Amino acid sequence: MIIMISRKHRHHETAALRLGMWWLACCVMALSSAVQGEEIFLEWHVKIDNTIKPVSVNQPVITINDLFPGPLINATTNDNVHVNVYNDMDEPLLMTWNGIQQRLNSWQDGVSGTNCPIRPGTNWTYVFQLKDQIGGFHYFPTINFQRAGGGFGPIRINNRIVINVPFPKPEQEFDLLIGDWYGLSFKKVRVTWGADYFPDWILMNGKGPYHSPFSEAHESFNVSRGKTYRFRISNVGNLWSINFRIQNHKMLLVETEGSYTNQITLDSLDVHVGQSYSVLVTADQYPADYYIVATPKWVNLTKPNAIAAVGLLHYDNSTESVNGPLPNGPDPFDIDFSLNQAQAITLNMSTGGARPNPQGSFNVTNVTLSQTFLLRGSLAVIDGYPRYTVNNVTYVTPSTPLKLADQFLNGSGVYELDAFPIHSSLPAPVNGTFVVSGTHKGWLEIVFKNDLDMIDSWHLDGFGFFVVGFGLGEWTPEARSTMYNFDDPVVRSTVQVYPGGWTAVYVYLDNPGMWNLRSQNLRHWYLGQELYIRVYDPDPNPAKERSPPNNLLFCGAVQAPPPPPPSLPLPSPPPPKAVPVPSPPSSAAVKTSHIGWLYVVISCSFVLLSSGVQINAS
């Protein structure tokens, strides 16, 4: 028996730690009969770089290991990812993993309600499993408007080898992060309460538009005629939805945020803030160079395509450079185009996703709702400042993360559960720490209503939305029988809501924790358009919800470590034949104490020696 463990993700660990991790990985793989993923270790140095100047402006850009965008997390279903984040910036930092469901583990979610920030000059290690997920996602910093300065990057969760993907293996995959960009410092934008400035650019993988005199570089992808490529596109921007298209090329939409869709052929694709899609593009044109374009939606432009991200699709042996105008997309104010496309994006019920059984086997055809929330997003003025609200409540971030308050203080002094309305708006806007109870293992219907003159998008951590309906104008309960798609709604984590319209989703609340429900529009989020859903199960069994990690950070009202639990006796060294089986990572926190490591190393040595396992480190 030969066990091969990839080394591709390891950097800079100490030799001893690496050895320990190796042996643990071996041990888990050798001893656990369940389907467990690999251990992926990443070390990230997050800092501010003033030399990148993506659009020739001297501005701070947040880099990870000197990269902008940050490095790819390339993983497979059920892998365990360990990201040791060093905050080398001059301000606090938190990273979130957008769309990663953090099963039973909101401790790793990296938003202000779940984690204390990583202070400047310190590091903190996130450890999470990509449990039962596939697809394309992205990560970004969550506090202090930092996403407007960078710090984002792509995540791929590949199918396990035993599970078929519902399309032929592409020749190559490209990650494509697109987002609007300010031509000035994010630190300057945020002190104006995020409200005064509009973005000046749209960047493609951190690069300015092709042929602009301001661009330091432009993005380009090499393709060979006759081959098919997968583009994993995410909108990592701040405010604007985008329309994405490739000159003279069709796109086959295949996946969104972890669901394989019914495949549809598109000329252009709307990607709203925080969303991710995979499209297949076949290089079936005359070998030349072609424009790759993203333009903003619902924005008045002086000329069409005035603010466009522009990259190139470059065929092997192309001798013709691009010429002529950029390919036009739909009218940016054509909501019917966008709505019709959204309604055509449905779930392929018959294909497997992260598991071999069909994606559609868990569905909404016959569910009984436990709860309905009607959430109205709007703009208000509080104390003379613009604030974005949900049901006329603007979220105020307490200095103690909600999750810590819950664990150690029963919430007291930090938030009051269910203090604000979830079916209607308050008559006047208020400040509030909006936390609402979600019924564990209940079906929740959320209707998002958008009172803004702007496309909004909403995201829930911890779950997927079954996107059952979109509408323009007011929602009424009759919409359930006349406008909902119960047959094959797509399952995703970020959904758009059209100006003046509504979007309805169903969510199955099977994941206990403290979960952020937010506008992905950075300005709306930063100025209060968010709340938390507390899904609570009184059963303290850690198989239901994980206990806090060993490296838990404290802040606010939970300063001192809580009294230690009754100490457990240390395990005695095992006798040669008695082999303890380590708990699979899906149900137990990864052990980090040295004694724990030593114990694992010793016990694994016995296992490996006695079973003659060879380790091939190539």
When asked if residue 618 is in the footprint of ligand NAG (CB under 6 A), the reply is no
When asked if residue 595 is in the footprint of ligand NAG (CB under 6 A), the reply is no
When asked if residue 350 is in the footprint of ligand NAG (CB under 6 A), the reply is yes
Q: Which of 74, 407, 547, 583 binds ligand NAG (CB under 6 A)?
A: 74
When asked if residue 158 is in the footprint of ligand NAG (CB under 6 A), the reply is yes
Measured CA to CA, the distance from residue 595 to residue 574 in angstroms comes to 14
When asked if residue 328 is in the footprint of ligand NAG (CB under 6 A), the reply is no
Cβ distance to ligand NAG smaller for residue 417 or 588: 417
* Part of the chain binding ligand NAG (CB under 6 A), chosen from 131-139, 222-230, 272-280, 460-468: 222-230
Residue 469 vs residues 222, 369, 478, 487: alpha-carbon distances, Å: 39, 16, 12, 11
Q: Which of 58, 224, 439, 593 binds ligand NAG (CB under 6 A)?
A: 224
Cβ distance to ligand NAG smaller for residue 223 or 505: 223
Measured CA to CA, the distance from residue 487 to residue 305 in angstroms comes to 38
Neighbours of 612 (CB within 10 A): 7
When asked if residue 84 is in the footprint of ligand NAG (CB under 6 A), the reply is yes
Which residues in 397-416 contact ligand NAG (CB under 6 A)? 410-411
Site track for ligand NAG across 529-568, x = CB under 6 A: ----------------------x-----------------
Backbone angles phi, psi at 23, to 5 degrees: -65, -35
**DSSP result, 179-224:** EEE-SS-HHHHHHTTTTS----EEEETTB--TT-TT-S---EEEE-
Measured CA to CA, the distance from residue 357 to residue 277 in angstroms comes to 22
When asked if residue 370 is in the footprint of ligand NAG (CB under 6 A), the reply is no
Token readout for 453 is 């003159």
* Part of the chain binding ligand NAG (CB under 6 A), chosen from 135-143, 179-187, 313-321, 567-575: 313-321
CA 176-179-183 angle, to 5 degrees, is 130
Cβ distance to ligand NAG smaller for residue 50 or 439: 439
Site track for ligand NAG across 263-302, x = CB under 6 A: x----------------------------------x-x--
Cβ distance to ligand NAG smaller for residue 376 or 459: 376
Cβ distance to ligand NAG smaller for residue 382 or 557: 382
When asked if residue 396 is in the footprint of ligand NAG (CB under 6 A), the reply is yes
Shortest spacing between CB 380 and ligand NAG, in angstroms: 6
Token readout for 406 is 């819950």
Beta-bridge partners for 508: 443
Closest CA to 285 of 221, 326, 224, 328: 224
Coil, strand or helix at 504:
strand
Tallying the residues shown for the chain, one arrives at: 618
Measured CA to CA, the distance from residue 198 to residue 239 in angstroms comes to 8
- Ramachandran class of 132: left when φ > 0, alpha when ψ lies in -120 to 50, beta otherwise: left
- Ramachandran class of 17: left when φ > 0, alpha when ψ lies in -120 to 50, beta otherwise: alpha
Shortest spacing between CB 498 and ligand NAG, in angstroms: 12
CB 44 within 8 A of CB 124: no
Measured CA to CA, the distance from residue 261 to residue 344 in angstroms comes to 10
Shortest spacing between CB 53 and ligand NAG, in angstroms: 22
Per DSSP bridges, beta strands 456-460 and 494-497 are antiparallel
Amino acid occupying residue 224: S
When asked if residue 125 is in the footprint of ligand NAG (CB under 6 A), the reply is yes
Cβ distance to ligand NAG smaller for residue 59 or 77: 77
Coil, strand or helix at 57:
coil
Per DSSP bridges, beta strands 430-432 and 393-395 are parallel
* Part of the chain binding ligand NAG (CB under 6 A), chosen from 139-147, 243-251, 364-372, 474-482: 364-372
Per DSSP bridges, beta strands 2-4 and 95-98 are unpaired
When asked if residue 392 is in the footprint of ligand NAG (CB under 6 A), the reply is yes
When asked if residue 317 is in the footprint of ligand NAG (CB under 6 A), the reply is yes
Q: Which of 429, 438, 501, 512 binds ligand NAG (CB under 6 A)?
A: 429
Q: Which of 262, 282, 341, 407 binds ligand NAG (CB under 6 A)?
A: 262
Coil, strand or helix at 130:
coil
Q: Which of 71, 166, 500, 548 binds ligand NAG (CB under 6 A)?
A: 166
Q: Which of 90, 196, 216, 316 binds ligand NAG (CB under 6 A)?
A: 316
| Residues forming the site for ligand NAG (CB under 6 A) | 74, 84, 123-125, 158, 166, 222, 224-225, 262-263, 298, 300, 314, 316-317, 348-351, 358, 360-361, 363, 365-366, 368, 376, 380, 382-383, 392, 396, 410-411, 417, 425, 427-429, 431, 453, 551
